[in-house]
Amino acid sequence: MNPSLFDLSGKRALITGSSQGIGYALARGLAQAGAEIVLNGRNPEKLAAAGSQLRSEGFTVHELVFDVTDHEGVRSAVDDFEAATGPIDILVNNAGMQHRTPLEDFPADAFERLLQTNIASVFHVGQAVARHMIKRGEGKIVNICSVQTALARPGIAPYTATKGAVANLTKGMATDWAKYGLQCNGLAPGYFDTPLNAALVNDPEFSAWLAKRTPAGRWGKVEELVGACVFLSSMASSFVNGTTIFVDGGISASL
């Protein structure tokens, strides 16, 4: 095997929602593989803190503040960055949110926020970045899906709908953009110990259920997502397109 297949040196990666959690872990992992990193979030202070930490580890980091749900704002930020700094070679669409309420009581405004944050953002940022990638004839897009792309649990039906949509939008991206040299794929985490899952992590009953339900018998560690993300961001996946890789300890494979 040629290790250079996974080398991201000379590449620049934008990771949305990367001031904490999975996005931050993926940003660090791509940096460790050699990529220059563009962090994104809406909170300048949190973003600056994340950038400072990664720079202290010796990585080249940019911070790009924009709201992933704002179509014109996204396009302007991406276009300005490309003009001033250079190409975005890799996009990781990670920004997302969760809201837990039984479906019969689910607030309409929360449903709309989930649609905008979890699925519309993938369209907004994906299109803005892909327009530049298409001109160059190459690019990598990794859309963060979920184990809920394939499975449902009580209280999160709208979230499940958005993550199913992300996987299908990923297929659509590949179908439209593969001919231009882009590879567009999904990465679906199972249950990971992140700020988004803090309430579940701190619930002994749920953690016990998860350990029994997951063949690996535990919560995932965010660092365990890095290998799959590097693969999908590198030359190693040059003929992988429109697929979703589940990194979930086997939960989606087991009844």
Mean pLDDT of 70-94: 98
**Domain count of the fold of the chain:** 1
Q: For 40-68, what is each residue's pLDDT tens digit?
A: 999 999 999 999 999 999 999 999 999 99
Mean pLDDT of 220-248: 98
The pLDDT score that the predictor gives to residue 1 is 65
Bridge partners, residue 186, by sequence: 143, 244
Q: Which residues contact 114 (CB under 8 A, 6 or more apart)?
A: 97, 98, 99, 158, 159, 162
Domain carrying residue 189:
3-253
The pLDDT score that the predictor gives to residue 195 is 80
Question: Contact at 8 Å (CB) between 118 and 159?
Answer: yes
Nearest to 249 by CA among 205, 193, 189, 209: 189
Mean pLDDT of 75-82: 98
Q: What is the CATH number of the domain that holds 37?
A: 3.40.50.720
Q: In which band, very low, low, confident or very high, does the pLDDT at 2 lie, cut at 50, 70 and 90?
A: confident
Which residue among the candidates 24, 159, 180, 191 is catalytic per the annotation?
159
DSSP symbol at 241: -
* Tokens at 44, concatenated: 């300048």
Question: Contact at 8 Å (CB) between 105 and 27?
Answer: no
Q: For 123-174, what is each residue's pLDDT tens digit?
A: 999 999 999 999 999 999 999 999 999 999 999 999 999 999 999 999 999 9
180 is annotated as an active-site residue: no
Question: Contact at 8 Å (CB) between 140 and 182?
Answer: yes
First to last CA, the chain: 35
The pLDDT score that the predictor gives to residue 198 is 87
The pLDDT score that the predictor gives to residue 171 is 98
